Amino acid sequence: MADTPSIIPIKKPTPPAPPAPPRPPGLAKDVKWEDAIFNAIFNGERRINTLLKIGRDAGGTDKKNVRATVLKYLEIPFPAGGVECERQRNRNADAKPDKPDESFTGRYESTGGSHGRYFWAINQAGNVVIAIRTMRDYSTSDKGDASQKYLELRGDLQGNRTAAMFVANDPGKFWGYLQPISRTELRWHYGSYLDVDGKRVDVEGHSYDDEHLRLVSGRPTLMKSLYLSGDHSLNVLMQEAEWFPLTAERYQFLEEGARSSLLRTLLEDYVKTPDGFTAEEKRTKDSAAARLVVYMANLLWDGQPSTKADALTLPPALEEAYRKELAAYLKRARGIAFGHHNNLSLATHVAKIWLAHEKLNYGQVKRSFLDWLIHIAQDRNTKGWLGERHAKTLSRLLEIPLNRSSGTYRYRMKLDLYSFLGFRVEGKLLVEPLTDPKWGATSYDVSGWWIGPPVIFAEHDEVFDVEKEMPQQWLKEDFEGTLYIGELTFGVKTPWFDFDLVDLHGVYLRSKNGLLLDIEEWDIDPSVGPGSGKTPKKPWKVSGGFIRASVSLAKSKLIDLSKPYPESKELTRNLDSAQHFCFGDAFLTAAGRQYLRLVCADQLAAFSSTTVDIAIMGHADRPSRAGPKLNEELSLRRAENVKTALQDILGEQLKIPPNDIRTLGFGDLEQWFADWLKSFPDKTIAKPTRDPYRRRVDLFINAKLVATFRDHV
């Protein structure tokens, strides 16, 4: 950085207002009111009524023209242009909390409007509000095409307990304001705003387009930047869970349908029915399979007319016992309008959890409902064209591949452990999927206790390295839970031989999601060895112990300096490249503060966590007549002022203590190292260079670069 101030003049773009009416020839157009509105917004003013007053006080006589200009400017996160920089304040900024007059964060179901029911996921950070709005039912006007789409909205509090909101990618398409009715209810007023007298002003909207929002959950929503991974299937599942969640009615239908006594009876009916040799016997087996397929098709219908399930009919032997239950099931299935048309992956995932929960014993075999259905699909796949048809339908409904083996997903699992003081156990569990979908090797922290005689594991002592084949897919989160490792040895000692009559060893993982995996089943391994030649004091021996340890995804201990997480460009638009600091100044500009608000709203779910890790790092470039100390101080002050602004915006939504937020000022160290690399062959430090890229503050959340604040345009 340099030591002299710099003034960048404001460059006001042509306001995007509609064309003014024709004016008499020779009469100059007065645009002072437009300048006044522009400068007010550039200094952080986002309230419609205040901007309207500023425009009128500055000479704007055409109310409609002034209003159109205000709304057009507010459609974007921040107007383009330079920043007037006249001061260089190298000190900590005073706290200036946003003090929002209303809290909108939550997840809502809406009714009303002219196009059906919607789900709203709203995050608020300070005076900024963002939202995702998705359809709950097919739109009659769009013939269902819009049911899987969503609107991303962005807006600001207005100081009258309302929030003006615009669709991020097409502001003129959908806009309006949110207004609280009670603690758990909001109202969306389309194409309107609230004037200074508290009256609704309809610009494009009508009351019949309004929506009534009812609070379902007060938690913030995971936006796309928080769940994107290399696993497409996981991304789809997370997006549906966050943006197209199941209603309570659908969730209850899936749970009760997957655990019903009718499904248990249909499974028993299939496995008890012999394959047979005659055509009649084979038709009986096919009919038993068809009833299972129809039952599951009603449970997991994707809403497409071509896949609509047939009516389920029962044989006389079952009809009388299950007539009422079947009628109730089909009535509820028909009541789930259009099936799971926009959250089928989520519905299937929930159904499979409950199918895996219920068990059915038949003969000497004990399987979950899910395992029985997978087994039946594999079995039918070998029984001719009708069997293959049933198998393919079950494969599609349950999202399982068809093959001849009972196991369809393979994982490699490797556990290293070491102990402290003979009782405390720590280690790493490595899990690598060997079949699709492959999300790469993942490390888990293992921490627990050894119960038994003290034992010392050498560092990185390998407990097991195995490949497991399972009939259902496990996600990364499914391997989090509790690990159980047990050993028991019982034997007899003689002067000539040592007999280990029983040598048991077993390893099990119980997932926090309710799944159970036998990594190494209990195994009896008797053995014999030479004796000591002396008569033992005790002719028998018993030894063993037990480990109970928690398993959780390993946290990265390194700062990731790679490409930032992709916060929604539709939300931030030009703000990520705006001027966030004046040259040589430690205070955030209005653009920088607004950018931070949007980042906070986008990442609100992370900031609301009690375990979030936040680091803020300031940098500068090299030229400075005052020496490197000034750069170090400036980079640190900027980082600390971003932290202060973070607290101002989030307030009580920030769940970690302020002292846990790390702020660092590296001065020109990064630039010095870059110059040294350029001159490395000569082993001389190159002449200090000015690089605007180095003058920045980086915000890291959970070791990921989330946002960068710069002092240049």
538 shares its domain with 647? no
Residue 683: is its pLDDT beyond 70? no
Give the closest residue to 401 by CA, choosing from 390, 391, 411, 414: 391
In a domain, 6, yes or no: no
In a domain, 506, yes or no: yes
Average pLDDT over residues 682-703: 76
Residue 129: is its pLDDT beyond 90? yes
pLDDT of residue 682: 58
pLDDT of residue 384: 82
Grade residue 15 by pLDDT with cuts at 50, 70 and 90. Answer: very low
Q: What percent of the chain has pLDDT over 90?
A: 41
pLDDT of residue 521: 65
**Whole-number Å distance between alpha carbons of 244 and 237:** 10
pLDDT of residue 153: 93
252 shares its domain with 352? yes
In a domain, 662, yes or no: yes
> Which domain-ending residue is among 521, 553, 585?
553
Angle at which helices 369-380 and 279-299 pack, to 10 degrees? 130
Average pLDDT across the chain, whole number:
82
pLDDT of residue 115: 61
Specify burial of residue 418 (Cβ count, 10 A radius: 0-12, 13-18, 19+): middle
Whether 402 and 392 have beta carbons less than 8 Å apart is answered as yes
Residues in a beta bridge with 504: 488, 524
302 shares its domain with 442? no
Whether 661 and 642 have beta carbons less than 8 Å apart is answered as no
Q: Which of 292-301, 341-350, 524-533 has the lowest mean pLDDT?
A: 524-533
Residue 568: is its pLDDT beyond 50? yes
DSSP codes joined into one string, 642-678: HHHHHHHHHGGG--S-GGGSEEEE-TTHHHHHHHHHH
Residue 269: is its pLDDT beyond 90? yes
Please count the CA atoms within 13 angstroms of the CA of 619 that sit on its side-chain side: 20
pLDDT of residue 288: 93
Q: Which amino acid is at 540?
A: W
Average pLDDT over residues 576-582: 85
Which structural domain, as residue segments, surrounds residue 145? Answer: 106-219
pTM for this predicted structure:
0.73
The CATH number of the domain where 213 resides is what?
2.40.128
CA 560 to chain CA centroid, nearest Å: 19
In a domain, 12, yes or no: no
Average pLDDT over residues 583-597: 91
Residue 458: is its pLDDT beyond 70? no
pLDDT tens, 633-651?
Answer: 999 999 999 999 999 999 9
Average pLDDT over residues 296-310: 88
Give the closest residue to 262 by CA, choosing from 307, 299, 287: 299
pLDDT tens, 77-124?
Answer: 887 765 666 667 878 889 999 999 999 999 999 987 666 789 999 999
Residue 2: is its pLDDT beyond 50? no
CA 580 to chain CA centroid, nearest Å: 28
Count up the domains in the chain and report the number. Answer: 5
> Which domain-ending residue is among 368, 398, 428?
398
The CATH number of the domain where 660 resides is what?
3.30.1330.60
> Pick the residue with more confidence: 387 or 213?
213
**Whole-number Å distance between alpha carbons of 374 and 400:** 8
169 shares its domain with 273? no
Q: Which pair of structure tokens corresponds to residue 405?
A: 């083996």
pLDDT of residue 344: 92
Q: What percent of the chain has pLDDT over 70?
A: 80
> Which domain-ending residue is among 519, 553, 587?
553
Q: Which pair of structure tokens corresponds to residue 145?
A: 């095409």
> Pick the residue with more confidence: 502 or 581?
581
**Whole-number Å distance between alpha carbons of 176 and 192:** 5
> Pick the residue with more confidence: 308 or 406?
308
Residue 571: is its pLDDT beyond 90? no
Q: Could you say which DSSP state residue 334 is in? A: H
Grade residue 522 by pLDDT with cuts at 50, 70 and 90. Answer: low
In a domain, 527, yes or no: yes
Which H or E run includes 349? helix 344-357
366 shares its domain with 421? no
Q: Could you say which DSSP state residue 142 is in? A: T
358 shares its domain with 415? no
In a domain, 404, yes or no: no
DSSP codes joined into one string, 487-544: EEEEEEE-SSEEEEEEEEEEEEEEETTS-EEEEEEEEE--EEEE--SS--SSSEEEEE
In a domain, 113, yes or no: yes
pLDDT of residue 125: 96
356 shares its domain with 430? no
pLDDT of residue 459: 43
Give the closest residue to 153 by CA, choosing from 570, 706, 707, 650: 570
CA 564 to chain CA centroid, nearest Å: 16
134 shares its domain with 115? yes
292 shares its domain with 267? yes
317 shares its domain with 416? no
pLDDT tens, 70-81?
Answer: 998 888 888 776
375 shares its domain with 480? no
Which H or E run includes 167? strand 163-167
pLDDT tens, 402-440?
Answer: 764 445 788 999 988 876 555 788 888 989 888 876 777
In a domain, 64, yes or no: yes
384 shares its domain with 419? no
